[in-house]
Every structure is written in structure tokens, then in C-alpha cells.
Amino acid sequence: MSDYDLIIIGSGPGGYVAAIRAAQLGMKVACVEGRETLGGTCLNVGCIPSKALLHASHMLHEAEHNFAEMGLKGKSPSVDWPQMLKYKQSTVDTNTKGIEFLFKKNKVDWIKGWATIPEAGKVKVGDDIHSAKNIIIATGSEPAPLNGVEIDEKVVVTSTGALALGKVPKKMVVIGAGVIGLELGSVYSRLGTEVTVVEFLDHVTPGMDAEVSRQLQKMLTKQGLNFVMGAAVQKTEASKSKAKVTYKLRKDDSEHVLDADVVLLSTGRRPYVDGLGLDALNVAMTERGQIAVNDKWETSVKGIYAIGDVIEGPMLAHKAEDEGMAAAESIAGQHGHVNYSLIPGVIYTHPEVANVGETEETLKAAGRAYKVGKFSFMGNARAKANFAGDGFVKLLADKDTDRILGCHIIGPAAGELIHEICVAMEFGASAQDLAMTCHAHPTFSEAVREAALACGDGAIHM
Ligand code: FAD
Ligand code: NAI
């Protein structure tokens, strides 16, 4: 008899959600976690601490830039960095403890330590071997290295080091204008650091709607971030407290050097499978080093499943969570389902950026006829009152059927507004369905409705 119906390796958003759902479905479940606390990258060194620092630094930005105009006079607050880090850590702690509570509530055993899979149906942690009918690998990802860049997590850091710097640096070079680079670059820029972002491509945040990407770069530049585009970083050289970053401009191959107190490497993440023993088990991998799975999240070895950052798809917490639920349901004999075409993406800069579904670029490439309904937040009363008029909602709908195909928002609360579109698309709604739905006034959501109106006879406030 097995010790468990299911053992999950890794307690990030994929693993802990799978554990809770499996327990709810009546399975005897354990989750192995090597870290001191539950919650994975997301809760410990990812989504949660970064959002705490984004929130705190945004408050400072508001105080410095908008308070006086609203009649809130007085000295702007100064930065107490150790206290800000304490606030960040307490946010992390409440959330990781929350998962511990949920494990107890759902009778999920937390096995502490690093797991290996000696054979299907067995999980080894330290000297103990536990048996399980099924195993889910949810071991997440780690920062991808870059040739010539040596990480010390003090001067040359990944996001993990950047979330726990000893002090606010005077000068920071960020390598890569992706999600991590722009979010953490924004944090330090707001705290007074001179931030320069060096990006290989000619635009920020690859894969995003090109118009939104241009607008985001423009707005971040206005906020004080510097961008060097079309530049390939060659190497970093670090001393105890300083670093030099050498890059070549792609257009003319000229070499340039930037000085920094801290360099943040944010050029992507890669699946983390170290120490699991997958080679010996003959678990099939993709060309990109991800664990290959079928439509039930089962690997090439029967009874071993994989979810989250360690498999194909966007490296996002909510994608991992959805897979966690669905894989547990599949193992329980139910029909676990993830709609991969409707996974929203959000960048928590100011303003926020959010997207779901097709972009104009993907639609053009597919030769699909579409129409665009665009509405600027300048026409939205609530946004204007909140100094948040820069930005827009862009809705894409099928030219013939009017069915919504995608949405791209840059503006206030974009990360919340996008879910109205996700629900609409999940139900196969048309732009007209959205346009005919009453939206409360004055809300940012009215801009979404206006974009839907713009797909038809026209927006009212534009
Ligand atoms: P992880 O969260 O990486 O968890 C894997 C866990 O497995 C880890 O705790 C690890 O210790 C454990 N583990 C690994 N190997 C073993 C082993 N052999 N034995 C035992 N335990 C093991 N995504 C968003 O959607 N929104 C955001 O705002 C966001 N912000 C981010 C900010 C930063 C700075 C970073 C780095 C990432 C961010 N992400 C965000 C991405 C998000 O964190 C990941 O997509 C998500 O954590 C993936 O979840 P997961 O369960 O697959 O793996
Ligand atoms: P990313 O893939 O988002 O961006 C990497 C950037 O680095 C790209 O713009 C790329 O062109 C650039 N780049 C690559 N090589 C380069 C080089 N040699 N020199 C200069 N630029 C180079 O990766 P990032 O920001 O590290 O994030 C990793 C993952 O974490 C993402 O996949 C994302 O999904 C997840 N994440 C999600 C967040 C969110 O949902 N808000 C927040 C933070 C991370």
C-alpha cells in the first residue's frame, strides 16, 4: 500500500494549489518543499515581495508628484529602506504562513527537504523513501544565466538579490527590458536610483502588442528610466561595491561601458529540475529543457506529472495554479481543464499593463480580418481625477462576427480591468455584448466599455 495517493514536489503556486485541490477531492496528499517556507518563488522571492516594493515606491511617487496638486501640502516622505524591507518581509511571511495554515486545514503533509524520484511511485527526501500512487513535479524555475555575467547576488544580482539589497543604489544597470527588469527597475527609479535598462531588441517586453510596448517605454522614460535599445551585453566586471557593464550596439557593433553600483540580470528564467533524477527515469524533455507533458499533464513516465514553470507555456503564477487544479482533477478521474488561449498577463508598473488573447501582430500574421476599438483614459472621468489619463484600452474583435479576440490595456488598474475581458471571451462574447452591458460611473471600467463601443458605432466620450 502507498503512503500517499499523491506526492507533490515543490510548494509554489502550482504545487500548493494542486495539493489543496487533491485533498479536497479526497486524496491523501503530501507536498515536499526544500525551502524553509512554503509558497515557492512566487510568495518568497517573486510576485509577492516585488508587489510590496512596487506598492511602497508607488506611494512615494504619488506623494512626490501628485499630492501638492490635490492640496496635500507638506514635506514628501523620505525612504527608510530597512523598514521598507521589513514591510516587504512581513507581507511575504503572512502569505507563506497562510499556505501552512491551508495545508493543515486540508490535511496536506509538508515533507521538509529536497526530493529525488528514485523510481516511479517513490519520492526520496533525506534518508526517507515515501511511496505514492502519483507524483506531481512542480519545481518551478530559476534565473537563466548569461555568458560573461557572473552573479554574486550583492553587486551583480538576479531578482532575488534585487529584492534584498543592503541599500538603495545610486546607479543601477538592468539587463533585459522584460517584466522583471521593468518592474524592479521602476521600484529603484522611484526610490531615487539612476536606472539604465539595456535591451537586446528594439522594443521592451517582447510578445506584447507593439503599440502598448511603445507607450510603456515612453511613459517609463518620462518617469526617469533610461533605455539603451538594440544592445547586446557582452560582460560584467564587478568589484566589492561597483560594476562595469560592457555592451555592443547591434546597429554598428560599437562597444560601450556603463558604471553601476548594482547590475540586475533579468533576461529570462529556465525550468528548475536539478537533483530530481529525471535522466535516470527517462522522463522526456522538450528542446528548451522543459518537462514534456500530455494534455493531462502526465510526463512520458506513467504516474509522474508536471506543472507550472517547469513545463511549457508562460511562466506565470496563475498559469501554474490553473495547471495545479486541473492536474489534481485529472488524477482524481475528473476532466481537468486549462484554457491556454485565455491566460492574462499583467505588468505591475505604473501605469499597469495587461493583455489577453491575440495581438494585432498575431492576427495579421494569421491573416485574420479584425477591427480595433480603442479608447483613451483621457476620456475617462475617474482616470482624469486620479492623474491617470495617460494610457488606453484596445479591444480587438473579429471583423465579421464581432467576437472579441483580444484586449490590451495600459492604464490605471489594468490588471483588474482585464478580467472582464477574460470572462467575456470565455463565454464567446462579442464586442457588442460588452458595449450593451451597463458599467457603473465613474469607474475605470467604463473605458473598457467605451473601447467595445468603439468597435461598433463609436465611443461616446471620445
Ligand atoms: P515555483 O513558485 O518556482 O515553486 C517551486 C518550488 O519548488 C520552490 O519553492 C522550490 O524550492 C521547490 N523545489 C524545487 N526543487 C525541489 C526539490 N527537488 N525538492 C523539494 N522542493 C523543490 N508571476 C505572476 O503571475 N505574477 C507576478 O506578479 C509575478 N512576479 C514575479 C516576480 C519575480 C521577481 C519573479 C522571479 C517571478 C514572478 N512571477 C510572477 C513568476 C512566478 O513566480 C512563477 O511563474 C511561479 O512561481 C511558478 O510557480 P511554480 O509552482 O511552477 O514554481
Ligand atoms: P523576460 O523574458 O520577461 O524578459 C527578458 C528580456 O531580456 C527580453 O526583453 C529579452 O529581449 C532581453 N534580453 C535577452 N537577452 C539579452 C541580452 N543579452 N542583453 C540584453 N537584453 C537581453 O524575462 P524576465 O524579465 O527575466 O522574467 C522572467 C519570467 O518571470 C517571465 O517569463 C515572466 O513571465 C515572469 N515574471 C512575471 C511577472 C508578472 O507577471 N508581472 C513579473 C516578473 C516576472
The whole-angstrom distance between residue 1's C-alpha and the CA centroid of its chain comes to 40
Please give the CATH superfamily to which domain 3-143+270-340 belongs.
FAD/NAD(P)-binding domain (3.50.50.60)
Fold of 351-454: Enolase-like; domain 1 (3.30.390)
Q: How confident is the model at residue 142 (pLDDT cuts 50, 70, 90)?
A: very high
Strands in 77-217 per DSSP E: 109-112, 115-119, 122-125, 128-137, 141-143, 156-157, 171-175, 194-198
Question: Torsion angle, CA of 449/217/316/413, rounded to 10 degrees?
Answer: -40
Query: ipTM of this predicted complex?
Result: 0.99
Alpha-helix runs per DSSP H in 295-430: 317-331, 360-366, 381-385, 414-426
Q: Is 5 helix (H, G, I), strand (E, B) or coil?
A: strand
User: If you measure from the C-alpha of residue 122 to the centroid of ligand 1, how many angstroms do you get, rounded to a whole number?
Assistant: 23
pLDDT in tens, 296-326: 999 999 999 999 999 999 999 999 999 999 9
Question: Is the fold of 156-267 the same as that of 351-454?
Answer: no
How long, in residues, is the chain? 462
Residue 165: predicted pLDDT: 98
- Could you please state the CATH topology (level 3) that the domain comprising 156-267 is classified under: FAD/NAD(P)-binding domain (3.50.50)
pLDDT of residue 2: 75
Residues 265 and 283: beta-carbon distance below 8 Å:
no
Compute the distance between CA of residue 373 and CA of residue 393 in angstroms, rounded to an integer.
8
pLDDT in tens, 327-350: 999 999 999 999 999 999 999 999
* pLDDT tens-place string over residues 258-292: 999 999 999 999 999 999 999 999 999 999 999 99
Annotated binding-site residue? 379: no
For residue 321, the tally of other CB atoms under 10 A from its CB is 22
Active-site entry in 65, 337, 441, 461 = 441
Question: Considering all CA atoms of the chain, what is the largest pairwise distance in Å, rounded to the nearest integer?
Answer: 70
State the pLDDT at residue 75.
85
Q: Give the separation between CA 48 and CA 56, rounded to whole angstroms.
A: 13
Could you tell me the three cell numbers for 121?
511511485
Q: What is the mean pLDDT of residues 212-231?
A: 98
Ligand 2 geometric centre to CA of 185 (Å): 12
Q: How confident is residue 1, by pLDDT bands cut at 50, 70 and 90?
A: low
Domain boundaries, the chain: 3-143+270-340, 156-267, 351-454
* Residue whose CB lies within 8 A of the most ligand 2 atoms, among 269, 343, 349, for a mutation test: 269
Query: What's the pLDDT band for 455 if we cut at 50, 70, 90?
Result: very high
